[in-house]
Amino acid sequence: MGIEKMIIIFSVLILLILGLMLIYGKSKLLNKKYRVENNMFHIKGNKDEFIIKKNDKVEFLIKDGEIVAIKNAKVDENFVYYKED
């Protein structure tokens, strides 16, 4: 699968999740699983902060609608935070 297709799939998934969060509100917790092609995504958290886990290998930490950190389950024990330029 090409990188462009992966980016599109991931972007659609994030938009879907953000839409669900707007519907459910901050007070409700999310704990959902989605299968997209050969990938399994597990979303856990609330409207302001949640984690998207892809295939139990990579985790993305999202705060206020922005990806702020990543964790590779095979390599990292903690999230590696992105720095703003």
CA count, 13 A, side-chain hemisphere, 82: 11
Which of 9-13, 16-20, 53-57, 79-83 bottoms out in mean pLDDT, i.e. has the lowest?
Answer: 16-20
pTM of the model: 0.66
Encode pLDDT of 22-66 as tens digits: 666 555 778 889 888 888 989 898 878 899 898 989 999 989 888
pLDDT at residue 21 tops 70: no
Question: What is the per-residue burial (b if ≥16 Cβ within 10 Å, else e) of 15-49?
Answer: eebeeebeeeeeeeebeeeeeeeeeebbbebebee
More confident residue, 67 or 2: 67
CA count, 13 A, side-chain hemisphere, 63: 6
Give the Cα-Cα-Cα angle 41, 76, 54 (nearest 5 degrees): 10
Residue 79, amino acid? F
